[in-house]
Amino acid sequence: MSTQENEHRAASFASEVKEVALTRHPELAGAYAAVEAVDKRASADGFNEQQRAIIEARVRENVSGSIAQGKVPEVSVKEAPQQNAEREHTR
């Protein structure tokens, strides 16, 4: 993809509402998943809302920079351990 397309995608990620950005650029799903995963981890680690907001802003900035460089995070779907155990049990 061209530099201009990457910059447009990064700007969309940085400034548009998630649903609008994903409608225009579905490939950004991994970027949003990455930000959400970091927020969940920060919450689980006991960070308060103000700290989590700072962390999220920094992560979004870093992800936006990566997108501008053509490095869009991808979604990696993992099977839940319980589902995996159930499969083993039924074999």
How large a percentage of the chain has pLDDT more than 70?
Answer: 82
pTM of the model: 0.76
Pair 9, 72: CB distance under 8 Å: yes
How sure is the predictor about 73, in pLDDT bands with cuts at 50, 70 and 90? confident
The more confidently predicted of residues 74 and 21 is: 21
DSSP 16: S
Backbone angles phi, psi at 65, to 5 degrees: -65, -40
pLDDT tens-digit readout, 20-58: 999 999 999 999 999 999 999 999 999 999 999 999 999
pLDDT number for residue 74: 84
Tokens representing 47 are 């960070």
Rama region for 58: left / alpha / beta (φ>0; ψ in -120 to 50; rest):
alpha
